[in-house]
Amino acid sequence: MLALSKKWYIITAMKKECRREKDPLGEKDVPINAYYGIQTLRAIENFPISGTPPQKKFIIAFAMVKKAAAIANMATGSLNKKIGKAIVKATDEIITGRLHKEFVVDVYQAGAGTSHNMNANEVIANRAIEILRGKKGNYNIIHPNDHVNMSQSTNDTVPTGMRIAGLFLTSELISDLKAMEKALAGKSKEFDSIIKSARTHLQDAVPIRLGQEFKAYSRAISKAIRRIKIASEGLKELGIGATAAGTGINTHPAYRKHIIKALKNITGVKDLRPADDMLEAISSMSDFVNLSSALKGLAIELIKIANDLRLLSSGPRTGIAEIILPAAQPGSSIMPGKVNPVMAEMLNMVSFQVIGNDITIAMAAQAGQLELNVMTPVINYNLLQSLEILKNGAKVFTERCVNGIKANKEKCKEMAEKSIGLATVLNPFIGYEKATAVAKEAVAREKTIREIVIEKRILSKKEIDKILNPMAMTRQRVVKK
């Protein structure tokens, strides 16, 4: 009897901690303190997939879209100003970081992002109701669909939020990439006088300056930045106002003009523009594909750079060891004194993930049918994740790795002098055949090219010193026979 009584008490207490809400499918108890409502609750129940909520930048960008819509609807006279101002105030709170824990729908959710849109509509509505001194759930004051979602559809708001969030993160990524480019360029100047052996096919090649290697890395990042900038321009073309199928149904004729103007002011992105074709803007995901492709290109360059640095720093006794990476942390739980290139390893893993994300985005982009691509949630998640991890990865890689790289000058000099690639420098002076013979003998006898040339009296010491001048070997020069 006591157990039954206790159970009854718990159930009664739980009911007191809930509010009853209804939607077209029926009624449900929503936690009384929750700002989300019944449709969000259904999404929580339907999609217990990854436990991953929407990214912070997307929550903010989406709140900006809702704010702009309220401003536009007030400007056209479609929305009561008292209600509109309360919605604006609620969205401002979300933009500044409040209520983000109320966005609880898994990133793997209903197609097109309807669940996220309703999550936002309900949170904004309930906070706006409170602002007007009402109680959460009293949608007679402000309704999630009728007021917060006025003149909108999931089909145009979600892609617009995706574009704005993408632009924000792209700007931050470019800033961090510029810092990486500058750091690599700085190392290029610092190492410009250090001669070493180049390697092609992982074999000895002609002499090169360590600074030239780092200049190439800097240039690769510079070109990646340019490609990302070009690709991100497509995100500035907004399909907002398209509503359900690109026709603009249920919107005021002036709504589109007003919401674009409001978004420019709210986001600070002054060159936002309406899409030329609204149907294309909600059915095609090509702008996201293009940006993802540019990020994949960056990831490939970062993998190349990270792998090179790992090879060049390999050792310290049994590897190439021409550079020394800063020690970030102990490298082994069992081998004392071991230090690993952990920052380069991290950058590799980040880049692998970005390449995988690009494949997901490509598959989702081609999976749209007719007037809508319903795969936007997974496109959004993967694109924003790529931007976020590239941004963070580039930042810490620059700060904790690139800035602290040192050259092992003695090892570079030693390897350069031992390189069989020096035989190539002799070609214009003694001919390819004789240079080949010198190279073979040097390998067989474990001697340097210089030693064989002098020993065989092919050239005098003065001549070979001039030919093998360290800086001259890494530049163009006129050869007179």
> 213 with 221: CB under 8 angstroms?
no
Specify the pLDDT at position 480.
63
Residue (of 172, 152, 170, 161) closest to 242 by Cα position: 152
The ranges of the chain annotated as CATH 1.20.200.10 are 157-410
Mean predicted lDDT score pLDDT of the chain: 94
**Cα gap 184→212, rounded to integer Å:** 11
Which is nearest to 61 in space by CA: 178, 170, 141, 174? 170
- The beta strands (E) that lie in 65-213 are given as 195-200, 203-209
Q: What is the pLDDT of residue 3?
A: 47
Please give the full DSSP string across 292-330, using - where no structure is assigned: HHHHHHHHHHHHHHHHHHHHHT--SSSS--SEEPPP-SB
The band of 7, judged by pLDDT with boundaries at 50, 70 and 90, is very low
For the ranges 128-132, 211-215, 367-371, 397-401, which has the lowest average pLDDT? 367-371
Over the stretch 143-194, which tens digit does the pLDDT of each residue have? Answer: 999 999 999 999 999 999 999 999 999 999 999 999 999 999 999 999 999 9
What CATH number should be reported for the domain whose range is 420-474?
Answer: 1.10.40.30
Whether residue 39 contacts residue 25, with contact meaning beta carbons closer than 8 Å, is answered with no
pLDDT at 26 over 90: yes
Distance, CA of 312 to CA of 408 (rounded, Å) = 10
pLDDT score at 6: 41
pTM (2 decimals)? 0.92
- Please give the residue that has the higher pLDDT: either 69 or 2: 69
Rounded Cα–Cα distance for residues 416 and 408 (Å): 12
Q: What percent of the chain has pLDDT over 90?
A: 83
CA dihedral 133, 139, 145, 148 (to 10 degrees): 0
291-314 per-position pLDDT tens digit? 999 999 999 999 999 999 999 999
| Cα–Cα distance, 107 to 381 (Å, whole number) | 7
Per-residue pLDDT band for 12 (boundaries 50, 70, 90) equals very low
> In this structure, is the dihedral angle defined by the CA atoms of residues 236, 241, 242 and 244, taken in order, positive or negative?
positive
What was the pLDDT predicted at 481? 58
Q: CA 434, CA 331: separation in Å to the nearest integer?
A: 47
pLDDT in tens, 228-264: 999 999 999 999 999 999 999 999 999 999 999 999 9
Q: What is the CATH number of domain 17-150?
A: 1.10.275.10
Q: Where do you find CATH 1.10.40.30 in the chain?
A: 420-474
Instruction: Tell me the per-residue pLDDT of 349-408, one tens digit each, with 9 for 90 and over.
Output: 999 999 999 999 999 999 999 999 999 999 999 999 999 999 999 999 999 999 999 999
- Catalytic residue list contains 386: no
The domain made up of 157-410 is a member of CATH 1.20.200.10: yes
Across the range 327-342, mean pLDDT stands at 91
Long-range CB contact pairs, 328-333, < 8 A, 24+: 328/400, 328/401
Write out the residue limits of the CATH 1.10.275.10 domain(s) in the chain: 17-150
- Compute the distance between CA of residue 148 and CA of residue 141 in angstroms, rounded to an integer: 11
When pLDDT is cut at 50, 70 and 90, the band that residue 106 belongs to is very high
Out of 175, 193, 286, 332, the active site residue is: 332
pLDDT band at 464 (very low <50, low <70, confident <90, very high): confident
Opening angle at CA 19, ends 18 and 21, nearest 5? 135
The predicted pLDDT at position 16 comes to 57
Q: Which value, to the nearest 10 degrees, does the dihedral of the CA atoms of residues 360, 361, 367, 368 take?
A: 160
How high is the pLDDT of residue 15? 52
- 10 pLDDT above the threshold of 70: no
Q: Which residues contact 181 (CB under 8 A, 6 or more apart)?
A: 218, 221, 222, 225
